[in-house]
């Protein structure tokens, strides 16, 4: 498990670093309006992809993780191809109604459908814990994406064209991925009930729609009430926080989700609960120090990585955004496993709906007195409400819990790290030096304290991982 966790971590860390480089470049080369088009279009593509395609992806991950044997590639690809023209027709309608321009609609369609196909192919690897090809395709796709984005940003800085290039990178790698996996054959003697898939996957599609709607609606409200010049820095803070929090959440979910589901199917509720607790402790051990660290270095981080027209607003919003993203990631990538294990996606939809309604209501209420910061406060409040509701609903169907002793150790280690980072950032004047000294020092202190307190069984896991790597890379 430790080796798989490391590989999945690399699989999302490398693309996150590349994506961070893209973020830095785009916030320097694009004006606020074009960045708002690209960022909002990307969010809308995620919204469309969640609604039209997530039923295929999550059903494939859920049902393939329960059993062994060949993946039913033909069945899942048929589901995807059935949905593709429906998505195309819906986005064409938005152009006909003049809701968005043809260029933006094309970019949204390419990103939504391309990412859906890519994620579906990756889900096949994840269901069988084939972490190495999963990581390879993630890194290659991200590399192609950043090369195209940089070329466009330097030659033709258009948000709509950037969207299309992102969609092209997803499609290219997805087609190669599917072809590679299908070479071993696409026939399987296992058959799924289409009705069961539609019921389970349809509920997840609504859930995906609800959760992605929150980000889209918040950005649209800010743009409509405060203008695109303010929406650009707001979107930049949301994007930066989402990259960090999302990378942590999906990395841990990639191994925890299939593991909990498979243990529930093969060994029952007690074994699944034990794996769920381990996953929760692992999530907290990574997410808590990362969130606190970003809050402490928000000012120098934004000053170094964004263009001058983003600095002030993005720096004020980033601490609030990273807190809300961390809470939302805890809900989406950990607590929601409980709904998937016992096939209760309807409760997942209810939790998400309450969170989105809260977000929209508080955004409208708080933007007036607090401006753009009110929208960020609304995100935090809605995330807390969503967390409380999700926890209550999850505990009604699954024994959700977190080891208290392990959590206390993580909090203690995070406090030690925070003190070191605070001293470093307040004793150095140059922003880039604050990051260069404060971040490595904080990581080193947290790592040493984690070994000292044996957070998440760190001593045994690090020893096991070291031996695995030593054997794997030993010179023969």
- Euclidean distance between CA atoms 40 and 217, whole angstroms: 10
Q: In which region does residue 268 sit, left (phi positive, over 0), alpha (psi from -120 to 50) or beta (all else)?
A: left
**DSSP labels for 261-287?**
HHHHHHH-HHHHHHHHHHHHHHHHHHH
Which structural domain range is residue 379 located in? 2-184+191-402
Instruction: Report residue 459 as tokens.
Output: 């001593």
Q: Which two tokens stand for residue 237?
A: 């803070």
pLDDT digits (tens, 9 = 90+) for 330-373: 998 899 999 988 888 888 889 988 999 999 999 999 999 999 99
Question: Per the domain annotation, does 416 fall within a domain?
Answer: no
Is residue 163 scored above 80 in pLDDT?
yes
Residue 385 reports pLDDT greater than 70: yes
Look at the chain and report how many structural domains it folds into.
1
Residue 443 inside a domain? The answer is no
**Would 411 be classed as within a structural domain?**
no
**109-120 pLDDT, tens digit each:** 999 999 999 999
Q: Calculate helix-pair angle for 311-330, 269-296, nearest 10 degrees.
A: 170
Residues 188-230: tens digit of each pLDDT: 656 688 888 887 777 777 776 776 788 888 999 999 999 988 9
Give the pLDDT band (50/70/90) at residue 476. Answer: very low
What is the predicted pLDDT for the residue at 94? Answer: 93
Report if residue 423 sits inside a domain. Answer: no
CA torsion, points 107, 108, 110, 116, in degrees to nearest 10? 160
The pTM for the full model equals 0.85
Percent of the chain's residues with pLDDT above 90: 60
In a domain, 419, yes or no: no
**Rounded Cα–Cα distance for residues 54 and 201 (Å):** 7
Is residue 41 in some structural domain? yes
- On whether residue 413 sits in a domain, the answer given is no
| 367 Cβ contact list (under 8 Å, min separation 6) | 221, 222, 225, 226, 374, 375, 378
Tokens of 168: 């092209």
The answer to whether residue 470 is domain-embedded is no
């Amino acid at each position: 498990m430790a080796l798989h966790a490391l590989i999945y971590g690399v699989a999302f860390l490398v693309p996150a670093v590349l994506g961070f480089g893209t973020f830095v470049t785009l916030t320097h080369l694009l004006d606020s309006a074009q960045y708002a088009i690209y960022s909002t279009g990307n969010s809308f593509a995620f919204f469309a992809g969640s609604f039209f395609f997530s039923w295929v992806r999550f059903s494939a991950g859920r049902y393939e993780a329960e059993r062994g044997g060949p993946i039913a590639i033909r069945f899942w690809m048929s589901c995807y191809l059935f949905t593709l023209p429906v998505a195309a027709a819906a986005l064409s309608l938005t152009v006909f109604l003049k809701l968005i321009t043809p260029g933006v609609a094309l970019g949204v369609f390419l990103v939504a459908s391309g990412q859906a196909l890519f994620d579906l192919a990756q889900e096949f690897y994840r269901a069988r814990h084939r972490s190495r090809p999963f990581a390879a395709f993630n890194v290659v796709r991200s590399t192609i994406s950043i090369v195209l984005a940089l070329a466009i940003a330097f030659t033709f800085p258009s948000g709509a064209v950037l969207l299309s290039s992102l969609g092209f990178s997803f499609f290219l790698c997805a087609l190669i991925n599917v072809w590679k996996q299908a070479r071993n054959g696409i026939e399987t003697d296992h058959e799924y009930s289409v009705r069961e898939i539609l019921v389970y996957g349809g509920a997840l599609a609504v859930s995906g729609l609800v959760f992605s709607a929150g980000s889209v609606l918040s950005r649209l409200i800010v743009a409509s009430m405060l203008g695109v010049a303010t929406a650009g820095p707001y979107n930049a803070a949301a994007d930066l926080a989402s990259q960090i929090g999302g990378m942590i959440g999906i990395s841990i979910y990639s191994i925890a989700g299939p593991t909990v589901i498979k243990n529930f199917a093969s060994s029952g509720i007690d074994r699944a609960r034990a794996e769920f607790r381990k996953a929760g402790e692992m999530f907290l051990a990574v997410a808590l120090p990362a969130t606190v660290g970003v809050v402490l270095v928000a000012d120098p981080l934004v000053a170094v990585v964004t263009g001058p027209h983003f600095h002030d607003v993005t720096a004020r919003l980033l601490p609030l955004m990273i807190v809300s993203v961390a809470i939302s990631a805890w809900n989406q990538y950990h607590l929601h496993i409980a709904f998937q294990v016992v096939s209760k996606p309807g409760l997942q939809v209810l939790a998400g709906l309450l969170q989105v309604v809260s977000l929209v209501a508080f955004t409208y209420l708080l933007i007036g007195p607090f401006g753009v910061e009110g929208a960020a406060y609304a995100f935090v409040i809605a995330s807390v409400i969503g967390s409380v509701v999700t926890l209550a609903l999850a505990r009604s169907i699954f024994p959700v819990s977190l080891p208290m002793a392990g959590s206390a150790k993580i909090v203690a280690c995070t406090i030690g790290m925070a003190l070191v980072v605070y001293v470093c950032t307040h004793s150095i004047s140059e922003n880039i030096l604050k990051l260069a000294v404060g971040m490595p020092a904080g990581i080193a202190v947290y790592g040493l304290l984690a070994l000292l307190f044996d957070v998440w069984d760190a001593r045994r896991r690090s020893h096991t991982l070291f031996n695995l790597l030593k054997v794997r890379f030993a010179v023969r």
